[in-house]
């Protein structure tokens, strides 16, 4: 994996943590999530007329990913409604790479080396430690937040594998990514039709957040999908989980969440895993 690919994936990780912080900072987590997804969908739809269609071989994977992303957005909102970003985000992003690593060998046909598995394990150990270690004086994390976050980890693993296959079969990674965001936005809007009046009022007040979050979300995942065409899916998925480094800083500085010494040590594990991944 080239140095440029590593830097792009790390930048994608920063973008991912940033749009999650926008969702967490919103007064209504579900409606904020819908706005971000809709913002991405609108921006994607504006660009789609200028791009070729993805190869038909990728369409079933595209549809499957849109369904996975519906579950992802709903579980994301639920996790942030019941717990801190500093707790839910590590569980969601940290548990997924191990599932991806196990599934990619069977579904994608990739074979990882011992060093790569070691780096994946190090990153996962760091992010899980950050979530499960409790600093002195800190409150116990919400059980509901933990449950929703772990369920979402499984969903993340599913759509990572689905998109890793779909984007390779599409013949057009950019078009595949934009179609994914457009379809995901439509599916999510249909799912929350019962809240359409509340969404209209919320959108009038926070539409700028929706567009900004949508653009950042689309850029983050688009970079990750492109990287999956140049390197093993499990490796990209694990390296992308360094977003927890950025999420921890954002949660501490902007959301005023607690970041104690034990969690800082866990950050060190993640950084070590990222370096190990680079040289694996």
Looking at residue 279, its pLDDT comes to 65
Q: What is the pLDDT of residue 54?
A: 95
What is the predicted pLDDT for the residue at 133?
A: 66
| Residues 120 and 278 sit within 8 Å (Cβ to Cβ) | no
Q: Which two tokens stand for residue 87?
A: 């707790």
Q: Cβ distance 253 to 231 under 8 Å?
A: no
Helix, strand and coil content of the chain, in percent to the nearest 5, comes to 85, 0, 15
Question: In this structure, are residues 216 and 15 in contact, taking their beta carbons and an 8 Å threshold?
Answer: yes
* pLDDT confidence bin for 157, thresholds 50/70/90: confident
CB 94 within 8 A of CB 128: yes
- CB-count exposure of residue 56 (10 Å: 0-12, 13-18, 19+): exposed
Residue 96 has pLDDT above 70, yes or no: yes
- CB atoms near residue 105 (< 10 Å): 14
User: In this predicted structure, what is the pLDDT of residue 100?
Assistant: 74
DSSP string across 139-205: PPPPHHHHHHHHHHHHHHHHHHHHHHHHHHHHS-HHHHHHHHHHHHHHHHHHHTGGGHHHHHHHHHH
CB 248 within 8 A of CB 13: no
Q: Which domain holds residue 33?
A: 3-279
Between 244 and 162, name the one with better pLDDT.
Answer: 162
Chain position carrying tokens 């499960």: 132
Please state, as a whole number, how many other Cβ atoms lie within 10 Å of the Cβ of residue 102: 14
Q: Could you give phi then psi for residue 55, rounded to 5 degrees?
A: -60, 140
- Residue 279 parent element (H or E): helix 261-279
Report d(CA 70, CA 37) in Å as an integer: 10
Question: How many structural domains compose the chain?
Answer: 1
Q: Is the dihedral of CA 94, 240, 190, 169 positive or negative?
A: negative
Neighbours of 215 (CB within 10 A): 18
pLDDT in tens, 188-243: 999 999 999 999 999 999 999 999 999 999 899 888 878 887 788 777 877 887 88
* Separation between Cα atoms, residue 280 and residue 276, nearest integer Å: 6
Residue with tokens 């595209």: 62
What average pLDDT does the chain have? Answer: 86
Task: Give me the pLDDT at residue 252, please.
Answer: 87
Measure the CA–CA gap between 72 and 148, rounded to whole angstroms: 10
Which pLDDT score, from 0 to 100, does residue 253 have? 87
pLDDT digits (tens, 9 = 90+) for 130-154: 667 666 566 666 789 888 998 998 9
């Amino acid at each position: 994996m080239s140095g440029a690919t590593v830097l792009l994936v790390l930048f994608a990780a920063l973008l991912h943590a940033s749009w999650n912080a926008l969702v967490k900072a919103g007064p209504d987590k579900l409606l904020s999530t819908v706005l971000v997804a809709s913002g991405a969908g609108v921006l994607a739809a504006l660009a789609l007329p200028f791009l070729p269609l993805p190869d038909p071989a990728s369409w079933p994977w595209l549809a499957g990913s849109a369904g996975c992303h519906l579950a992802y957005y709903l579980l994301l909102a639920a996790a942030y409604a019941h717990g801190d970003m500093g707790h839910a985000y590590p569980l969601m992003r940290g548990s997924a790479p191990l599932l991806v690593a196990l599934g990619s060998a069977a579904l994608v046909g990739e074979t990882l080396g011992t060093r790569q598995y070691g780096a994946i394990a190090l990153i996962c150990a760091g992010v899980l430690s950050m979530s499960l270690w409790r600093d002195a004086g800190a409150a116990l994390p919400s059980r509901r937040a933990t449950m929703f976050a772990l369920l979402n980890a499984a969903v993340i693993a599913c759509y990572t594998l689905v998109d890793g296959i779909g984007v390779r079969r599409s013949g057009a990674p950019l078009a595949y990514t934009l179609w994914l965001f457009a379809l995901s936005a439509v599916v999510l809007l249909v799912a929350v039709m019962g809240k359409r009046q509340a969404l209209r009022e919320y959108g009038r007040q926070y539409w700028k957040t929706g567009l900004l979050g949508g653009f950042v979300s689309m850029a983050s995942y688009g970079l990750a999908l492109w990287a999956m065409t140049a390197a093993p899916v499990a490796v990209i998925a694990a390296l992308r989980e360094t977003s927890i480094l950025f999420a921890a800083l954002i949660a501490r500085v902007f959301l005023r969440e607690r970041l104690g010494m034990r969690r800082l040590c866990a950050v060190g594990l993640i950084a070590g895993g990222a370096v190990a991944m680079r040289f694996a």
